[in-house]
A = this chain, B = another copy of it.
Amino acid sequence: MSLAAGRPYLAIPGPSVMPDAVLQAMHQPAPNIYEGDIVAMVQAMVPDLKKVAMTEGKVAIYIANGHGAWEASLSNIASAGDRILVCVTGRFGHGWAEMAEGLGLQVDKLDFGTKSGIDAARLEEALRADKGHEYKAVLFSHVDTATTVRNDPRPLRAALDAAGHPALLMADCIASMGCEEFHMDAWGVDIAVTGSQKGLMVPPGLSFVFVSPRAEAARDATPRVSRYWDWKNRIDPQAFYQFFGGTAPTHHLFGLRAALDILHAEGMEQVWKRHETLARAIWAACEAWGADNGALRLNVADRALRSHAVTALGLGERNGSALRQWVARNAGVTLGIGLGMETKEDPKGEGFFRIGHMGHLNAHMVLGMLGTLEAGMQAIGVHHGPGALAAAAKVIAEG
């Protein structure tokens, strides 16, 4: 019997659950875009947006998804024929590299597999080998949404510094911004890219490129940047429409204002702590299910390398898909599919699934999701270790 007929819970790694206040803010008539309230609203929003990335640099707002922001960021600092280096820890690292190739860039990759973080020593070695400083930029995923590996930007910055290499350090923070601790300026990241639909809790359709002074300089050195992607007017607009290179995305801006209010009312430090604690609750449950010969495996073994916003899991055979379907049909929970985890034995990656735990997220949502996983594993007959839900509740109790 289905027990799904209530408020559905979406636990995919983006779009995340939208706060009611965000959807309400978007439910309003079209505004004047030539003058009036929206102009002041956007100007006041820029500092709040930058505070999410902990930067005193600039920010360009794009009407685009994350792929658009990937292209935008590269378009400003490199031209066809230029060379970049991409540190890959999952499918989304490959994705950014492909966008670079689409712009005609020469792309070298350092691939660290699907279960490990970036080895900064290998990066440093590669940078030292680039004696002519051909690399315009080093790209990496703060969190790869597919593998759910989390890379600390600090050792990467240190590697660049140690190698004395001038390349820009560019971070894909799409799955991490607003969820994971991040200090763009203090950690020496030159360009950080994110989207609206994860930690920022706004429907997909906006993306953001945060820009350091070094990145600004790099853009100035770029011979030609396409008008839409050019961040120059977007970060220092003389007229309102220049923020957006044309018509303003009015309703997303209303939503973003509401989301930033929510984030800063809680405080970024507390937002990150909340994500971390809820992630530890999830890990506690998953580790318990995996113990005692349980089938469940966390994709990332090392807690220090696990994202606090999304968790990839393996259940073996086709059980990832079976579990997803059971909880969707019977319990009201939608889990994410495994992505980029295909193997010879599991060509469609049906043994895998992912839990999104980002953004507008509290103990009730997480514990309920975990409860349905336990019910689902029992229902589809997957062996799982005991004590998982109690272990998760204990993490919550201890705060």
- Please give the residue numbers on chain A whose beta carbons come within 8 Å of chain B beta carbons, in ascending order: 1-10, 12, 14-20, 23-24, 26-36, 63-68, 70-71, 75, 80, 98-99, 101-104, 195, 197, 203-205, 224-228, 230, 244-252, 262, 266, 270-271, 273-274, 277-278, 330-334, 336-337, 360-372, 374-376, 378-379, 386-390, 392-394, 396-399
Contact = CB atoms under 8 A, between A and B. Distances in A.
Contacts of A366: 368, 371
A393 B367 contact: no
Contacts of A15: 30-31, 33, 247, 250
A376 B397 contact: yes
Contacts of A361: 5-6
A396 B371 contact: yes
B1 A274 contact: yes
Contact of A364 (B18, B249, B368, B378): B368
Given A389-B390, A390-B389, A397 B378 contact: yes
Given A14-B247, A65-B246, A205 B252 contact: yes
A14 B250 CA distance: 11
B363 A3 contact: yes
Contacts of A12: 32-34
Contacts of A336: 34
A386 B386 CA distance: 12
A18 B14 contact: no
14 contacts: A3-B363, A5-B360, A6-B360, A10-B30, A24-B28, A34-B336, A63-B204, A64-B68, A68-B246, A71-B228, A75-B226, A205-B205, A331-B362, A375-B394
A227 B102 contact: yes
B375 A103 contact: no
Contacts of A27: 23-24, 26-27
Contacts of A246: 65-68
A99 B389 contact: no
Contact of A247 (B17, B66, B330, B332): B66
A30 B5 contact: no
Given A30-B18, A63-B65, A364-B372, A270 B331 contact: no
Contact of A389 (B9, B17, B393): B393
B251 A205 contact: yes
B230 A102 contact: yes
A238 to B, nearest CB: 15
A246 B66 CA distance: 7
Contacts of A368: 363-369, 371
Contacts of A252: 203, 205
A55 to B, nearest CB: 23
Contact of A363 (B248, B362, B371, B387): B371
B20 A29 contact: yes
A24 B24 contact: yes
A394 B224 CA distance: 55
A375 B362 contact: no
Contact of A371 (B103, B360, B370, B378): B370
A226 B308 CA distance: 33
B228 A4 contact: no
B393 A65 contact: no
A29 B1 contact: no
Given A33-B204, A379-B397, 7 more contacts: A6-B17, A8-B29, A14-B247, A24-B24, A71-B228, A98-B227, A203-B252
Contacts of A386: 390
Contact of A4 (B10, B225, B271, B363): B363
Given A102-B227, A205-B63, A273-B1, A390 B363 contact: no
